[in-house]
Amino acid sequence: MLAALAALALLADDSGGGLLLEGAVAAGAGYDGGAALGPGGLGSTAGTVSAAAGAAVDLGESMGLYAGARLDGLYYADVADLSRTEVTGEASAEVELGRLALAAIPSGGWAWHGDPSRDGPVWTGRLVLRFRAAEALALRTSYAHASRGAADPVYASEWDRLTAGVELRLAERAFISVWAGAGWGDEVIYVPVTTAAAAAKGPGGGRSGGGGLAGSLPVKASAAERKAGIDLELGLGGGFHVELGATLGWVESEVADPIAVFSLLGQTGWRF
Partner 1 sequence: MRIIRLAVLTALTAATPALGQDQTRQQDRVRDPSTHEPGAVPDQDRLRTRDQDQLKTGATGEATLTKKAGATEQARSQEPARIKEQTRAQVGGGQGTGDQARARDKSSDRAQERARDRQRDRAHASGQGGGSGYRGGR
Task: Please report whether residue 167 would count as binding partner 1 according to CB under 8 A.
Answer: yes
In the complex with partner 1, which residue's Cβ is closer, 197 or 260? 260
Examine residue 59 and tell whether it contacts partner 1 (CB under 8 A): no
152 binds partner 1 (CB under 8 A): no
Least distance (Å) between residue 89 CB and partner 1: 12
- Residues in contact with partner 1, shown as a per-residue x/- string from 204 to 243 under the rule CB under 8 A: -----------------------xxxxx-x---------x
Site string for partner 1, 131-150 (x = CB under 8 A): -------x-x-xxx-x----
Q: Is 177 in the site for partner 1 (CB under 8 A)?
A: yes
Please list every residue from 89 through 128 that binds partner 1, using CB under 8 A: 90, 92, 94, 101, 103, 105, 124, 126-128
From 97, 177, 88, select the one nearest 129 (Cα to Cα). 97
Q: How many residues does the chain have?
A: 272
> Nearest Cα to 114, choosing from 83, 152, 153, 72?
83
Using an 8 Å Cβ cutoff, are 268 and 244 in contact? no
Residue 263 touches partner 1, criterion: CB under 8 A: yes
Q: How many CB atoms lie within 10 A of CB 74?
A: 19
How far is Cα 201 from Cα 255, in angstroms, rounded to an integer? 11
Query: Of 119 and 187, which CB lies nearer to partner 1 in the complex structure?
Result: 187
Q: State the alpha helices, DSSP H only, in the chain.
A: 2-15, 193-200
- Check residue 11 and give left, alpha or beta (phi > 0: left; psi -120 to 50: alpha): alpha
Q: How far apart are CA 77 and CA 270, in angstroms?
A: 25
Nearer to partner 1, 238 or 257 (CB): 238
- For position 187 contacting partner 1 by CB under 8 A, the verdict is yes
Chain centroid offset of residue 169 CA:
23
Q: Does 26 bind partner 1 (CB under 8 A)?
A: yes
Q: Are strands 240-253 and 216-237 parallel, antiparallel or unpaired?
A: antiparallel
Tell me, by CB under 8 A, how many residues bind partner 1: 65
* Interaction of residue 85 with partner 1, rule CB under 8 A: no
What whole-number distance in Å separates Cα of residue 113 and Cα of residue 136? 39
User: In the 8-state DSSP scheme, what is residue 173?
Assistant: T
Residue 78 touches partner 1, criterion: CB under 8 A: no
Q: Hey, what's the torsion of the CAs at 5, 10, 11, 16, to 10 degrees?
A: 130
Q: Which residues bind partner 1 (CB under 8 A)?
A: 20, 22, 24, 26, 28, 32, 34-37, 46, 48, 50, 52, 56, 58, 64, 66, 72, 74, 82, 90, 92, 94, 101, 103, 105, 124, 126-128, 130, 138, 140, 142-144, 146, 161, 163-165, 167, 177-181, 183, 187-188, 227-231, 233, 243, 245, 247, 263, 265, 267, 269, 271
